[in-house]
Structure 1
Amino acid sequence: MTVESGYGDIFGPQVPRTGDESQTATFALASAAYRDNPVVDIKKADNEWHQTEVKPGRSWAGIFRPNLGEAFSRAIVDRMLGPGRKPLIQSFGSEPQVAVEHALAANNIRKARDQMLSIVMVLCGVLFLPGLLVWLLVFQIRTAVARSADRRAGAMGTTLLVAVGALAVIFLIRMPFTGFWAWYARACVVMPVVGWFWAKQICERTAQDLRGRWDSLLAGSSIGAKVPEAVPTSPGETKADALRQSLAKLAAEQQSNSVFYAGPKGILGMGTRWGSWQLAEDLVPADPNREIHPFRSWDVIRAIHDDLRMLERNTINTGGFPTPSVRHWIVTPIAEGAKAVSRPEGTDVDAFQFKTHAIQDICNKQQFGAGDRHYLGVQWTLWDGQLVITMMITVTVLHQTLRIEVTGHALGPVNGLFTSKPEAPSKEVQKSFKPWETRKVALPLVSTDEVVRLTVRAPLSWYPPLLNWLGGSIALPEPFGLRHAWADQPWRHRFMADDALRAATPVLRVVHSAAIRVLQENGVDTEKFGTRSAFLSTQVQDPTPRKADVYDA
């Protein structure tokens, strides 16, 4: 059962509607589960702050090495749904649950393929083990020789396979045995070859299915991820119910209003801080004969919150801002090199969400020294989820000084590795009568070596830890969040950079005008605040983003 409207029901796979073009980043990340690239390609997506580790397997077990899709989908499912998993970082601008469900669907497709290949392996391989071992040895030698950079070595590998095939034919004709063992020896030569042809058909069908889903996701007309094991059909299905609860927990954690500040890395999930503007002046009564009417930081923040919700309104009909997300955030500081985060617990937190009274207390009281801090954030998800712009506002009052700080954060597009479409395998060869010219020759979708690799891996696929030990795996960067782990900087894209820079000035002016209005209502002299605000309005027009969290001290 698939749910294809909105976020769906928590009892089933929650996927966006077919053709939802606002999910480009989500679908790009989800497509990695269906890819057949070499696993080391994941290193191409590393950024300045997050590096994915490719864990090697045993040096003698190269045939068990996974490809990118196999390793990625297994790592994503284990990290995001595994029992006792560590907390996750929110994936702003994407839906991590969709990517996880596509990883589950990809695992199911491969599991069905491996079940068929296991039957082939038993009927055509294990029952004729001597022949299977000889053919595997030949293929391993051929693969090792073919990997050489020397062309002659590559041709030698193909020659070796042909020579062994010729010897096999001679062996069939000039059989040194008689009776039962003669027929068994012939079967040991023939049946592994028959099994290879059978396995090739299975692998081709599965590869076409996986590549079709990969291409469909990147084209925007995505097909839903079928995860029937996430839908309990009876009260006794504890495994299905546990998976359903894990998906629901993932969705709840994605909506958490708690984030983490990791020094120069910025707020995890929102990107690095590229700009900071501070307005700080003394609270002086407008009327020397009267005292200031008491107010709190929350009063200023609430007025700013109400005005920020009007940002999409425009004086001139030029499109303007789309409707932003305006939320209160509780920010927890962690070390730059921290490998894990800890979600807050207690009576002030419900389903990963700080309650309103707790937010107000932190806003009014925790402004100096240890503890969490309160920020008001206005966030836009643009470019079909490829750009996330977040402006964070905090208000503090120390002694007689009120400080309003506005900071800009930007999370760029997912790495180009995830947006590359599948290409039909091909190679360039010299023309027969024009050796100075080349032409492209189409190759089979699944190569000979790939069929052997998949068939040998299949019987062990029921126990992934053993496959990971033999062939290797990938370790996701921590603290892990699906979106920010593979995000590039937006400054290399001219229009994305423009959007991030343009958002700062309107937000800054709305924040200042709302704050000054509250101060005037409470009897504060706002002349210095107005002068400082005008100065900052000029300063914010500087078109250069900076590394605001890298203090040169």
Structure 2
Amino acid sequence: MADDGFDFTPGAQVPLAGAAGQTAATYALASAAYRDDEVTKILEADNEWHKSKVSEPRVKMLRPRLGEAYSRAVIDRMLGAGRAPLIQSFGTEPQVVVEHCLAAHRIRRERDNWLTAVTVLCGLLFLPGFLVWLLIFILRANVAKATDKRASALGTGVLVAFGALAVLFLIKMPFGGFWGWYARAAVVVPVLGWVWAKRICERTARDLRERWDSLLAGGGLGAKIPEAVPGSPGESAAEQLRKELVRLSAEQRSNSVFYAGPKGILGMGTRWGSWQLAEDLVPREPGKEINPFRSWDVVRAIHDQLKLLERGPLNTGGFPAPSVKHWIVTPVGENAGAVSRPSGTDVDAYQVKSHAIQEICNKQQFGAGDRHYLGVQWTLWDGQLVLTMMITVTVLHETLRIEVTGHALGPVHSLFTSKPAAKTKTVQKSVKFWETRSVKLPLVDADEVVRLAARAPLTWYPPLLNWLGGTLSLPEPFGLRHAWADQPWRHRFMADDALRAATPVLRVVHSAALKVLAENGVDTERFGARSSALSGQVQEVSPRKADVYDA
């Protein structure tokens, strides 16, 4: 059994970037860690089955941006101590996504350290002036958010008016001596600190946007996480982080999955098609008994034939090499908020052992308990489409049933694939007032500098910052890939790939099963007729919600 204290590797390692053929979806999800959109935008990426939650901030100035909230939430959920089990992210490398979240968090932490120093030097040491300027910015921000143009102009006027008063205060100081000079500094130094902080924020914003753009362009910049490489045996935090990353990869390779009713198999998508072949086991020769065989014998023959799907009589490209794997499927409720993986002596490093798989396949076919499925899976479209065909064989009394079901997980939401765009706004032309033009805005505006500077000192104590600014709650049971996946049926070629895979898989399964039945003295006439009928039906296949029973 895999537990929190078990180490799966012999030494210190930092996992490399995503596997070939799965980079698009991986880098799209990783790019969210560097984004500077409003955190509520992630709600647009939720699908009908999985919903994120963004809590309302108690202090709006301390609210997080999308990248800040996303990276923090992913790190806590996937690397946190005592975390709940995760759902596998088929078609992606979740470890790469977590590494980029760690890298983005480290970049922001360095920025916050600088901003904290600026706040202490230019703010706390000159607290009266700092508080006055802060109140002015809050007032201006609240007024500027009004939809009325007059109110927006009033917000700008407020800042100008207070600036003029500050100049008059510097020229005609009501008192002298030390306190006079301190009062002058309290007016000027916070402004200089704001300019310094703005340069720090702009430098970091450019760095984050370059990484965001690089990931969506193909992942040119890698994630740097030196904190995951222990430099000495005494660095317990780095060693723990390294173990959690390795544990994450081990759980990703688990052969245990969960069926959540209409949601389908979590991580594989909803079930869109189902074909069942069920006939009685009748001896081929009257008066003789059939040779005794087990469900596992049929499954093993199907497994061997599915491994050959990439071969064909014509050189037409055809199927890429599929992943053929035995799965242990655990049923969970449709609205289950968590899952629990199998444990015990039959599980090693999140993998159910072979002898346990065979026992489940042969014996657990009716009533409570986990079930065995044989899956053939393709990761297509650079990780954006995951097709899975699941096969199960059951024998009840004298009836053998072979069921083939199709599952499809579509591309990640377009929110994650959008590249950084320049910030602009549309204004009226001064002369031709009936026409408009786009004006380029600064990458980091005044309000954003104030927000970051106000948040920076509180990043040293995240619980307080989360309570004041709000947090992002990830959909549970959580898995990076299925949480923000679209349906593939809106993409013509993806839908075609899903539909075309069903026919050859179904025929290979039936062919392998009929061969085993014939070798063991079973009359295959009825099985063959039923198989031919299903072969005709599958040619007119259309996707449907196969798990939504209208009863």
Q: Provide the TM-score with structure 1 as the length reference.
A: 0.97
Query: Deviations for 1:55-77, whole angstroms, at most 9, x for unmatched residues?
Result: 1221xx11110000000000000
Other-structure match for 2:6: none
Letter aligned with residue 293 of structure 1 = N
In structure 2, distance between residues paired with 1:17 and 1:307: 29
Deviation at 1:432, TM superposition (A): 2.1
CA distance 1:63–1:95, shift in 2 (3 Å): same
Mapped contact 2:86–2:479 kept (Cα < 8 A): yes
Letter aligned with residue 119 of structure 1 = A
Letter aligned with residue 305 of structure 2 = D
Say which SS state the counterpart of residue 489 (structure 2) adopts.
Answer: helix
In structure 2, distance between residues paired with 1:490 and 1:479: 22
Mapped contact 2:21–2:379 kept (Cα < 8 A): no
Is residue 437 of structure 2 the alignment partner of residue 439 of structure 1?
yes
Other-structure match for 1:11: 12
Mapping of residues 81-92 of structure 1, within 5 Å: 81-92=79-90
In structure 2, distance between residues paired with 1:101 and 1:152: 47
Query: Deviations for 1:475-520, whole angstroms, at most 9, x for unmatched residues?
Result: 1000000100000111111111111011000000000000000000
Deviation at 1:17, TM superposition (A): 6.5
In structure 2, distance between residues paired with 1:40 and 1:17: 28
Deviation at 1:542, TM superposition (A): 2.1
Is residue 174 of structure 2 the alignment partner of residue 176 of structure 1?
yes
CA distance 1:440–1:549, shift in 2 (3 Å): same
Mapped contact 2:310–2:320 kept (Cα < 8 A): yes
Query: Deviations for 1:350-373, whole angstroms, at most 9, x for unmatched residues?
Result: 000000000000000000000000
Mapped contact 2:18–2:26 kept (Cα < 8 A): no
Mapped contact 1:21–1:220 kept (Cα < 8 A): no
Is residue 517 of structure 2 the alignment partner of residue 519 of structure 1?
yes
CA distance 1:9–1:161, shift in 2 (3 Å): farther
Say which SS state the counterpart of residue 56 (structure 1) adopts.
Answer: coil
Query: Deviations for 1:199-258, whole angstroms, at most 9, x for unmatched residues?
Result: 000000000000000000000133111111111111111111100110011000000000
Other-structure match for 2:50: 50
Pick from 483, 488, 491: which aligns with 1:490? Answer: 488
Mapping of residues 280-319 of structure 1, within 5 Å: 280-319=278-317
Query: Deviations for 1:36-73, whole angstroms, at most 9, x for unmatched residues?
Result: 00011110011000000001221xx1111000000000
Letter aligned with residue 109 of structure 2 = K
In structure 1, distance between residues paired with 2:515 and 2:92: 36
Other-structure match for 1:234: 232
Mapped contact 2:85–2:340 kept (Cα < 8 A): yes
Mapped contact 2:27–2:219 kept (Cα < 8 A): no
Is residue 26 of structure 2 the alignment partner of residue 36 of structure 1?
no
In structure 2, distance between residues paired with 1:52 and 1:177: 56
Mapped contact 1:395–1:405 kept (Cα < 8 A): yes
Other-structure match for 1:536: 534
In structure 2, distance between residues paired with 1:136 and 1:206: 22
Deviation at 1:429, TM superposition (A): 1.7
CA distance 1:225–1:218, shift in 2 (3 Å): same
Mapped contact 1:411–1:488 kept (Cα < 8 A): yes
In structure 2, distance between residues paired with 1:291 and 1:476: 57
Deviation at 1:152, TM superposition (A): 1.6
Deviation at 1:11, TM superposition (A): 2.9
Deviation at 1:290, TM superposition (A): 1.9
Mapped contact 1:386–1:412 kept (Cα < 8 A): yes
Letter aligned with residue 237 of structure 1 = E
Letter aligned with residue 483 of structure 1 = R
Mapping of residues 122-521 of structure 1, within 5 Å: 122-521=120-519
In structure 2, distance between residues paired with 1:169 and 1:157: 19
Mapped contact 1:256–1:353 kept (Cα < 8 A): yes
Deviation at 1:180, TM superposition (A): 0.8
In structure 2, distance between residues paired with 1:133 and 1:93: 50
In structure 2, distance between residues paired with 1:21 and 1:204: 35
Say which SS state the counterpart of residue 49 (structure 1) adopts.
Answer: coil
Mapped contact 2:22–2:93 kept (Cα < 8 A): no
Letter aligned with residue 517 of structure 2 = L
In structure 2, distance between residues paired with 1:390 and 1:453: 46
Letter aligned with residue 406 of structure 2 = G
Say which SS state the counterpart of residue 22 (structure 2) adopts.
Answer: helix
Mapped contact 1:13–1:101 kept (Cα < 8 A): no
Mapped contact 1:298–1:363 kept (Cα < 8 A): yes
Tell me, which stretches of 5 or more residues in structure 1 are unaligned?
1-7
Is residue 108 of structure 2 the alignment partner of residue 110 of structure 1?
yes
Deviation at 1:21, TM superposition (A): 5.9
In structure 2, distance between residues paired with 1:304 and 1:163: 80
Other-structure match for 1:5: none
Say which SS state the counterpart of residue 347 (structure 1) adopts.
Answer: coil
Deviation at 1:543, TM superposition (A): 3.6
Say which SS state the counterpart of residue 471 (structure 2) adopts.
Answer: strand
Letter aligned with residue 494 of structure 2 = M
Mapped contact 1:280–1:403 kept (Cα < 8 A): yes
Query: Deviations for 1:281-313, whole angstroms, at most 9, x for unmatched residues?
Result: 000011113210110000000000000000001
Say which SS state the counterpart of residue 480 (structure 2) adopts.
Answer: coil
Query: Deviations for 1:96-148, whole angstroms, at most 9, x for unmatched residues?
Result: 10000100000000000001111100110000000011111010011111111
Mapped contact 1:10–1:248 kept (Cα < 8 A): no
In structure 2, distance between residues paired with 1:527 and 1:446: 74
Deviation at 1:442, TM superposition (A): 1.2
In structure 1, distance between residues paired with 2:40 and 2:428: 30
In structure 2, distance between residues paired with 1:280 and 1:304: 16
Other-structure match for 1:3: none
Mapped contact 2:271–2:405 kept (Cα < 8 A): yes
In structure 2, distance between residues paired with 1:9 and 1:130: 57
In structure 2, distance between residues paired with 1:436 and 1:56: 39
Mapped contact 2:74–2:98 kept (Cα < 8 A): yes
Say which SS state the counterpart of residue 55 (structure 2) adopts.
Answer: strand
In structure 2, distance between residues paired with 1:319 and 1:511: 21
Query: Deviations for 1:173-203, whole angstroms, at most 9, x for unmatched residues?
Result: 1111111111111111101100000000000
Could you tell me the percent identity over the aligned residues? Answer: 73
In structure 2, distance between residues paired with 1:391 and 1:212: 39
Deviation at 1:22, TM superposition (A): 3.3
Letter aligned with residue 512 of structure 2 = A
Deviation at 1:9, TM superposition (A): 9.6
CA distance 1:41–1:245, shift in 2 (3 Å): same
Mapped contact 1:15–1:224 kept (Cα < 8 A): no
Deviation at 1:338, TM superposition (A): 0.5
In structure 1, distance between residues paired with 2:74 and 2:343: 25
Mapped contact 2:309–2:321 kept (Cα < 8 A): yes
Q: How many residues align?
A: 543
Mapped contact 2:25–2:382 kept (Cα < 8 A): yes
Letter aligned with residue 39 of structure 2 = V
Deviation at 1:153, TM superposition (A): 1.2
